[in-house]
Amino acid sequence: MKFAQLAALKRLSLMLLLPGLAGLLLSAMVSTHYMDTLPRSPAPEEMRMTPRAINGAVVYQTVEEDLRLNILEGASVGIFILGLVVGLVYLEKWGSAQSREEEDRDFKEGGR
């Protein structure tokens, strides 16, 4: 595999891993904020009827809050895992290229 292709795989992996990790951190911050601010019992007057368990505590949120946090968590995990897969492909290709270079070097030295 060419150096440019390896560099592109590495760059793509980082471009997926870093936003995925940032999204995971953001979703953890939102969950912590929810745990500190949302009611611990249903509040029908505020439309907070959807339960969410956060670190063993149950808080009640609106349907929109639940949907936003679920999308944020799901997208972050998906992007992060995709970045991991691309990173693993990069490492496998890089290892193959290194092995091939080593074999070529050994072949040239053995042929002298």
pLDDT digits (tens, 9 = 90+) for 36-82: 999 999 999 999 999 999 999 999 999 999 999 999 999 999 999 99
The structure tokens 């693993």 sit at: 88
Percent of the chain beyond pLDDT 90? 79
Q: Is the pTM of this model over 0.75?
A: yes
13's CB contacts (< 8 A; 6+ apart) are 83, 84, 86, 87, 90
Domains in the chain: boundaries: 3-110
Q: Rg of the chain over CA atoms, in angstroms?
A: 23
Instruction: Give the DSSP letter of residue 44.
Output: G
Q: Cα(111)–Cα(52) distance, rounded to whole angstroms?
A: 68
Q: How far apart are the first and last CA of the chain?
A: 27
